[in-house]
Structure 1
Amino acid sequence: MIEAELKARVHAPEAVMRQLDKLATARVEVYQDAYYDRADGSLERADQELRVRTVHGPDGRRTVLTFKAAAVDEASGSKPEHETRVEDSEAAHAILQGLGYVPVIAFQKRCRNYEFEAYGRQMLATLVKVPEIEGTFLEVETLVDEDEVPAALDDIRAVLAELGIGAADLTRETYTGAVAAQRD
C-alpha cells in the first residue's frame, strides 16, 4: 500500500484543531522516532526510510517497525509503506544494529491524531509539534493502491482546503532533515 500524504505548516493551529475536533475525537500521543541507515548511507540516497517508532498514548505504549520505499509521487513524497508492530522495542533496536544498520537520528513528535472518513476514504490527520522545530505541522494521509495516488492526493487537498490550509502551506520538508539542521 502507498501512504498518500501531504504535509503543511499550520499558521493557526488552534483553529485547525477546533475544526478537527468536530470531525473526530483526538488521540493524543507522543512518538519517539529512531531512524536507521546502512553505514554507507545508501537507504537515504535511495529515498528509503527504516524507522523504529515507540508510541506513548493513553492506552499504553506500542512499538512499530516501518520501512518506506522510494517516493512514487515526487510532488507529495508519497511512499509505499510496510509496517509491523513489535513486542520489544529494545530488541527491535538491537536486531537492526546487529544486522549492520546504524542509528542516524532520533527525536520526539507530539501528535494529535484524528481518524475520520472523507471523500469515501479513511483519513488520518495529525497535528504535529516537534520540540526541536519551530511551528506546528498538519499531516493528512490515506492508504491506497499505487494507481489511486493522484485521486487520493486530490481528496487530501480538499480536506486541507476545508481546514483552511492552502497550496502555499504545503511542505516537503522532512522532520529528520529539520531536526538534523537544528543540531548542526
Structure 2
Amino acid sequence: MAREVELKFIGADYAALRERLQAEGAQSAGRHLERNAVYDTGEGTLRSARMLLRLRRRIWADRTQALMTLKCPPAGAVPAGVKVWDEEETAVADGEAMHAILTGLGYRPAFRYDKEREDWSLRGVHVSLDRLVFGEVVEIEGPQDDIRAVAALLGMTGCETSTATYHDMNRAWRKASGVPPCDDFMFDDEEVGRILDGLRHPA
C-alpha cells in the first residue's frame, strides 16, 4: 500500500495563500466539488478496525470522476505530529455500479460528506484548500519535513494544525456550536447548485 502523510492547517487567509502559491510557482489543478460516502457494515466492523472504505465522486466543470479508496492503520513506525494512513486508491468507471457492488456485499454508507476543494502542487507537495460545512481547512500532503517547509514558505506557521479526520472535526464543531449530532456533513441543494454554477462560470 502507498503511505499517505498529511497535516491540516486551520485559520489560513485563502486570498493571501493563493497569492503566495502563485508567487512561489505552484501549479494549480483548479477547483472541484467532492461528494463522499464512507461505507461500513451494520456492526461498524471497519471503523472498529480503524479502516476507512470510501467512494468519492469528484465533479469539475467539464467532467466527473469516481474514486474508490481503502485506508488502513499504518504498518510499522510512523512520524509524530502528522496524520498517516496506508492507502490504496483507484478510479472506477461507474460510481453507481460501485455503490451497487458495495451494498451487494453488505456494506452501507455509514456517513456522507461534501467538500469544495482547490488543488495546488508545490515542490512535490500537494496543497488542498478545502471548504466544508464547518469551515475552511488547508490540507498539505507529502513527506513530513516537506509539509512543514512548504507551510512555512506559504506563511502558515501561525495557523493551528490538526491531525483529526474531517469526520472528527465535524463532530467537534457540532458539539462546540450546539448543533445536533450528525455524522453527515453535506452542503444543502442550494449550496451545491451555487458551487456547480461557479465551476461552470468562474468569476
TM-score, scaled relative to structure 1:
0.83
Structure 2 gaps, min length 5: 175-179, 182-203
After superposing the two structures, state which structure 1 stretch, 68-77 or 91-100, moved more: 68-77
Taking only the aligned residue pairs, the percentage that are identical comes to: 30
Paired letter, 1:19: R
**Residue from 47, 50, 70 that aligns with 2:50:** 47
SS across alignment from 1:17: helix
Does residue 127 in structure 1 map to residue 118 in structure 2?
Answer: no
SS across alignment from 1:170: strand
Instruction: Give, in whole Å, the separation in 2 of the partners of 1:79 and 1:140.
Output: 14
TM-score, scaled relative to structure 2:
0.76
Map 1:150-165 onto structure 2 (within 5 A). 152-165=143-156
Verify the 8 A CA contact 1:29 1:58 in the aligned structure 2: yes
Deviations 1:55-99 (A, max 9, x none): 001340000000011145363221111011111111111111111
- CA 1:77 to 1:42, structure 2 compared with 1: closer, same or farther past 3 Å? farther
Instruction: Give, in whole Å, the separation in 2 of the partners of 1:75 and 1:96.
Output: 34
Size of the aligned set, in residue pairs, is 169
**Residue from 30, 33, 49 that aligns with 1:30:** 33
Per-residue deviation at 1:173?
2.4
Structure 1 gaps, min length 5: 143-151
Per-residue deviation at 1:102?
1.6
Verify the 8 A CA contact 1:105 1:180 in the aligned structure 2: no
Paired letter, 1:15: A
Paired letter, 1:133: F
Instruction: Give, in whole Å, the separation in 1 of the partners of 2:39 and 2:53.
Output: 5
Instruction: Give, in whole Å, the separation in 1 of the partners of 2:49 and 2:158.
Output: 27
Per-residue deviation at 1:26?
4.1
The match for 2:165 is 174
